[in-house]
Amino acid sequence: MKSSDTLPGRAAPEGPAGARSLEAAAGPLVEASGEPETVRAAPTRRRPTLGLGLGLGTATIYLSLIVLIPLAAVVWRSTEDGLGGFWGYVTTPESLSALKLTIGASVVVALVNLVMGTLIAWVLVRDSFPGKSVVEMLIDLPFALPTIVAGLVLLALYGPGSPLGIDLAYARSGVVVALLFVTLPFVIRTVQPVLLEMDHEMEEAAASLGAGNATIFRRIILPNLLPAMFAGTALAFARSMSEFGATVLISGNLPFKTQVAAVNIFGQIESDNVVGAAAVSTVLLLVALIVLVSLDGLQRWGSRRG
Amino acid sequence: MAKYALRATALIYLLFLLVLPIGLICWKTFSGGVGPVVESLSSPSALHAFKVTVVVALFAVVANTIFGVGAAVLLVRHEFRGKRLLNALIDLPIAVSPVVVGLALILVYGRFAPLGGWLADRGIDIIFSLPGMVLATVFVSLPLVVRAVAPVLQEIGIEQEQAAWTLGARPWQAFLRITLPGIRWALGYGMVLALARSLGEYGAIAVVSGRLVDQTQTVTLLVEERFQNFDQQTAYAAAFAMAVIAVLTLLLISLLRPKEDAK
């Protein structure tokens, strides 16, 4: 089996912003380093060393100027007053409560996505009903929609003057709804391709041996889906932790109540407290790093199973 | 029975999270007819915001396309020390919060940072002007082209290029006439992804642009600013315009998606 068979999201339609690239994030680590087909330039040509050097140099400078040096500057500035200073900035009451809210909301969002995302993926793969192709396309909309528009859209339905009579503005539940909106596609788009490629034979064999639907799901389907489910959930968690645009409008940014970490950082930048902003940013960067590393691990787990 | 319960749960969830909110925004946008929408979108501020958005997005897409193709060629066609590191670093931007992206750029290119100060002395302002916004947009959309192109480059292999070389083609000729046509769909796909991401960026832009109305205001910033200033008509109209762009993007993507995925 090709390694790409177990890569989440390869075969599914994907949205622009996150899923594809993020899953690809975990994918090519394995793919590009391990593929035997990696082809060298023809040995008869002279160009390789010079061309490769130039190319590598340019890519490194580009990445350094835009990504690496700026991110390093964030970490550097966050420890300007020493580690104690860093800790002090992270644990100011306002930052701490923003971080706690962000982590709490992201855990809730990740869990809801784990269940609902898997369920929706299941319905999209195993069920058929009129209008399924429209639903299929709608799933990607949260990725294509600018986050601020997502926030505005949710505020129209779940804000003051809501036609449903549900007002979640300035409430923590509003933050969770906004995060659920922007993270919707992650689990669906990672689980769907795995579900599509799963053999029915094992399920049929289990059924012929007398297993009920619940047993088949628990013993046959679930173990095969787990790596993809966790990968999607990790992506959704990472996205929730870092989300800014979608929560700005609906949360009202009340410190100690609905202010998430990204908004907290934004506020600190606006009030020129750069070191504090850098400290909270460093915490978010650490979380992102942990997620990327665990995704790499999940990828390996997934391909071993595949 | 269980089948219908699952189907109903999935559809109701999507109805309340996606369909109703987006439907409502369309309805609210056009509740006063088409006239006010056209009017608010053709105000000088709105037109300026659209112009800024398009300019920034185009620069960012061009930069990331050149880098993306180059990096994909490096990663797929060459072996070198630190390849895995480069591979991992390219994906890093996706996991970074947009606000952190903005802060990171300010810390290096801001007026009070060494590099930014040096540039400012030479009359080059990065932060609170277009170059900074382009940098931020490049940052957030960096991996999209690479990740779209690399798998296809891997798949088409090197035989045709080698054939071209043996027939005397120079490397750039082989690239333009063999490699580029081979990856054109994937490249188009990656560019559309990057363009959509660039047009819709909000958080990083909000930090580095300084949010100067009629100067560095993009459409996403306009949506927020108009909404906060109780000009809902313009906010909804601009949001609707962005939603239309999003739907068009999805349609384009489904056309361009690499064909081997169809099987």
In angstroms and rounded to an integer, the radius of gyration of the C-alpha atoms of chain A is 22
**Residue ranges of A 220-239 with Cβ closer than 8 A to chain B:** 238
CB burial readout B90-110, b (16+ within 10 A) else e: bbbbbbbbbbbbbbbbbbbbb
Where do runs of H (alpha helix) occur along A167-273?
172-197, 200-208, 213-216, 222-242, 245-251, 261-270
* Any domain includes B4: no
Number of CB pairs, chain A paired with chain B, less than 8 A apart: 309
Going by pLDDT thresholds of 50, 70 and 90, the confidence category of residue B198 is very high
Is the CA virtual torsion A114, A95, B221, B196 positive or negative?
negative
* Any domain includes B2: no
Q: A145 and B242 in contact by Cβ < 8 A?
A: yes
Residues A125, B206: Cα–Cα separation, whole Å? 39
> B135 to chain A: which residues are within 8 Å by CB?
66
What pLDDT is stored for residue A48 in this prediction?
A: 53
Q: Is B49 on the interface with A (CB under 8 A)?
A: no
Q: A74 and B107 in contact by Cβ < 8 A?
A: yes
What pLDDT is stored for residue B139 in this prediction?
A: 95
B236-245: per-residue pLDDT in tens? 999 999 999 9
Range of the domain at B120: 23-258
Q: A245 and B104 in contact by Cβ < 8 A?
A: no
Q: B25 and A145 in contact by Cβ < 8 A?
A: no
What pLDDT is stored for residue B207 in this prediction?
A: 93
Residues B263, B257: Cα–Cα separation, whole Å? 12
What pLDDT is stored for residue A30 in this prediction?
A: 34
Model confidence at B177: pLDDT above 70? yes
CA atoms within 13 A on the CB side of A197: 23
Nearest to A94, CA basis, from A253, A251, A241, A247: A253
CB contact at 8 A, A253 and A267 = yes
**Residue ranges of A 25-64 with Cβ closer than 8 A to chain B:** 25, 28-29, 31-33, 35, 37-42, 44-45, 47-48, 51-52, 55-56, 58-60, 62-63
Going by pLDDT thresholds of 50, 70 and 90, the confidence category of residue B259 is low
CB contact at 8 A, A35 and B83 = no
Looking up tokens 């959309």 gives B141
CB contact at 8 A, B95 and A291 = yes
Q: A21 and B143 in contact by Cβ < 8 A?
A: yes
What pLDDT is stored for residue A163 in this prediction?
A: 84
What pLDDT is stored for residue A203 in this prediction?
A: 86
Q: Is A198 on the interface with B (CB under 8 A)?
A: no
What pLDDT is stored for residue B62 in this prediction?
A: 97
Residues A199, A221: Cα–Cα separation, whole Å? 10
State percent of chain B over pLDDT 70: 98
The ipTM of this complex is 0.88
Model confidence at B183: pLDDT above 50? yes
CA angle B79, B163, B171 (to 5 degrees): 60
Residues A236, A253: Cα–Cα separation, whole Å? 22
* Any domain includes B68: yes
> B253 to chain A: which residues are within 8 Å by CB?
13-16, 140
Quote the DSSP letter at residue A295. Answer: H
Two tokens, residue A138 = 């709608």
**Residue ranges of B 57-116 with Cβ closer than 8 A to chain A:** 67, 70-71, 73-80, 83-84, 86-109, 113
Quote the DSSP letter at residue A81. Answer: T
Using 50 as the pLDDT threshold, list the residues of chain A that sit under it: 1-47
DSSP string over B61-124: HHHHHHHHHHHHHHHHH---TTHHHHHHHHHHHHHS-HHHHHHHHHHHHSTTSHHHHHHHHTT-
CA angle B134, B136, B137 (to 5 degrees): 65
CA atoms within 13 A on the CB side of A44: 10
Two tokens, residue A168 = 């979640």
Interface test with A, best of B3, B22, B257 (most A CBs within 10 A): B22
What pLDDT is stored for residue A77 in this prediction?
A: 92
What pLDDT is stored for residue A16 in this prediction?
A: 36
Amino acid identity for residue A92 in this structure: T
CATH number of the CATH domain containing B91: 1.10.3720.10
Model confidence at B260: pLDDT above 80? no
* Any domain includes B143: yes
Number of helical H runs and strand E runs in chain A: 15, 0
Picking from A37, A63, A129, the nearest residue to B154 by CB comes out as: A37
**Residue ranges of A 287-306 with Cβ closer than 8 A to chain B:** 288-289, 291-292
* Any domain includes B10: no
What pLDDT is stored for residue B240 in this prediction?
A: 94
Amino acid identity for residue A42 in this structure: A
Picking from A38, A139, A262, the nearest residue to B203 by CB comes out as: A262
Nearest to B221, CA basis, from A241, A249, A143: A249
Going by pLDDT thresholds of 50, 70 and 90, the confidence category of residue B258 is low
Picking from A56, A147, A288, the nearest residue to B74 by CB comes out as: A56
CB contact at 8 A, A127 and A288 = no
What pLDDT is stored for residue A17 in this prediction?
A: 36
How far does the CA of residue A166 sit from the closest CA of chain B (Å)?
A: 12
Residues A114, A297: Cα–Cα separation, whole Å? 18
* Any domain includes B11: no
Q: B142 and A145 in contact by Cβ < 8 A?
A: no
Burial class (CB in 10 A: 0-12, 13-18, 19+), A22: buried
Q: Is B18 on the interface with A (CB under 8 A)?
A: yes
B98-157: per-residue pLDDT in tens? 999 999 999 999 988 888 889 988 988 889 999 999 999 999 999 999 999 998 998 888
CB burial readout B34-65, b (16+ within 10 A) else e: eebbeebbeeebbebbbebbeebbebbbebbb
Nearest to A102, CA basis, from A274, A288, A298, A270: A288
Model confidence at B234: pLDDT above 70? yes
**Residue ranges of A 74-133 with Cβ closer than 8 A to chain B:** 74, 77, 116, 119-120, 122-124, 127, 129
Taking CA–CA distances from A277, the nearest residue in chain B reads: B103
Total domains in the fold of chain B: 1
Domains of chain A with CATH codes: 94-305 (1.10.3720.10)
What pLDDT is stored for residue B171 in this prediction?
A: 82
Taking CA–CA distances from B192, the nearest residue in chain A reads: A16
Q: A59 and B239 in contact by Cβ < 8 A?
A: no
* Any domain includes B6: no
End-to-end CA distance of chain B: 31
